Amino acid sequence: MKHYNVAVLPGDGIGLEIMGEAVKVLKAVGRKFKAEFALTEALVGGASIDANGVPLTDAVLKLALKSDAVLLGAVGGTRWEGLDYSIRPERALLALRKELGLFANLRPAKIYKDLIAASTLKPEVIDGVDLLVVRELTGGLYFGTPKGVEVLPDGTERGVNTMVYTTPEIERIARVGFEVARKRRKKLCSVDKANVLETTELWRKVVIKVGKDYPDVELSHMYVDNCAMQLIRNPKQFDVIVTENTFGDILSDEASMLTGSIGMLPSASLGATKNRAMYEPIHGSAPDIAGKGIANPIATILSVAMMLKYSFEMEEASNLIEDAVEKVLNRGYRTADIALPGEKKTTCTEMGEAVLKELA
Ligand code: NAD
């Protein structure tokens, strides 16, 4: 029997509610596919600040480092907003990303037929959209030096950030892009601004070189401004998009809004080795609805599906969860965030139970 250690970090707000349902799904899949998941739950974010004074303790970091994967809910909330930035709940995420070396962020955006009406775009534009953005997470403009703001002799100020990438950094994210595309429809679009930025000219050159190792994947290139436009004009043309940190930040948010609801979208952050991976919904702790039992657990349940696919090579189990979610939507289950006016609203637990029933 396969055995995997998973660190379960529910976090704050709706994190606790949605994680409860996701864990039930993970356990059910374990029984069905004869895999043993040893789950260790721990505090992170605001909950950890309350108990230990810091958003991430050394013990929890150690747990994450020795686990095969981390499943995270969400962190943050109004009660911790007055704290110094260095001990805010969100610091836990940055520390986990850094310590686990999570350099690749994968965000799928898939339209479910039954939720087409929830999108702001025309049905014919989004029907059939199924794309994935691979964003470089630890380099580029957000981390490059020199950076900062200086006062000039004449009293004016000068702000600087530096977009910097080395060949190995580009190579490893390009490989993730090609590998992921291989598991999908085998189309990879590398997004850059090679007509203006030298850094991304290097990006394009390196991606083309790495592409020689993946002759089965169709590689294309697009400038980032055009990509922003194409995502709205004709999103169906994309399978996998790979891009640098800042472009990926913006494009993945844009892509996620094609689907209409933040409560539906999972994500994966991957590091250099198989046991360096964190899976989490893209949304936050939603303090406005926390404790009401009405949060949508699907983003977290689909994060479990991603974990099975990318960390545990359990593709069949992963697909089964995705199919179960689709069927549940098809049967008309709707949490408040995806319900249209007049539609009956499902609670968080009812949604989790409905997915479990489909899995069975
Ligand atoms: P949010 O994603 O928590 O909420 C935005 C809106 O979407 C809210 O109206 C919320 O009710 C709704 N929503 C979010 N997830 C939902 C779900 N699963 N089901 C139904 N509705 C859902 O973003 P925010 O309000 O900007 O931030 C709230 C807190 O979360 C802040 O403290 C922020 O720093 C933190 N945050 C954490 C993460 C993370 O843990 N990865 C990400 C973003 C924000």
Counting atoms of ligand 1 from 1, which one is nearest the CA of 336?
20
The pLDDT confidence band at residue 85, using thresholds 50, 70 and 90, is confident
Annotated catalytic residue, options 253, 274, 323, 357? 253
The pTM for the full model equals 0.93
Axis-axis angle for helices 58-66, 91-100 (nearest 10): 40
Residue with CA at minimum distance from ligand 1 atom 30: 284
With contact defined as beta carbons under 8 Å apart, do 14 and 73 qualify?
A: yes
Reading the block at residue 65, the tokens are: 């480092």
CA 286 / ligand 1 centre spacing (Å) = 4
Q: pLDDT at position 24, please?
A: 98
- Residues lining ligand 1, CB < 6 A? 14, 18, 74-77, 90, 93, 262-263, 280, 283-289, 295-296, 299, 335, 337
pLDDT digits (tens, 9 = 90+) for 22-65: 999 999 999 999 999 999 999 999 999 999 999 999 999 999 99
Residue 74 alpha carbon, nearest atom of ligand 1: 40
Residue of 14, 79, 262 to test ligand 1 pocket, by largest number of atoms within 8 Å of CB = 262
Of the listed 50, 213, 225, 323, which one is catalytic? 225
Is the pLDDT at 122 greater than 80? The verdict is yes
- 161 Cα–ligand 1 center, Å: 28
Q: Which atom of ligand 1 is nearest to 81's Cα?
A: 32
Tokens 């893209």 identify what position? Answer: 282
- What is the spatial distance between Cα 220 and Cα 192, in angstroms, rounded to a whole number? 11
CA 86 to ligand 1 center in whole angstroms: 20
Q: What is the pLDDT of residues 237-276, one digit of tens each?
A: 999 999 999 999 999 989 988 887 789 999 999 999 989 9
pLDDT value at position 340? 86
All structural domains of the chain, each given as residue ranges with its CATH number in brackets, are: 1-108+262-360 (3.40.718.10), 120-259 (3.40.718.10)
How big is the CA angle at 275 (ends 274 and 279), to the nearest 5 degrees? 95
CA distance 286 to 348: 13
Burial of 36 (0-12, 13-18, 19+ CB in 10 A): exposed
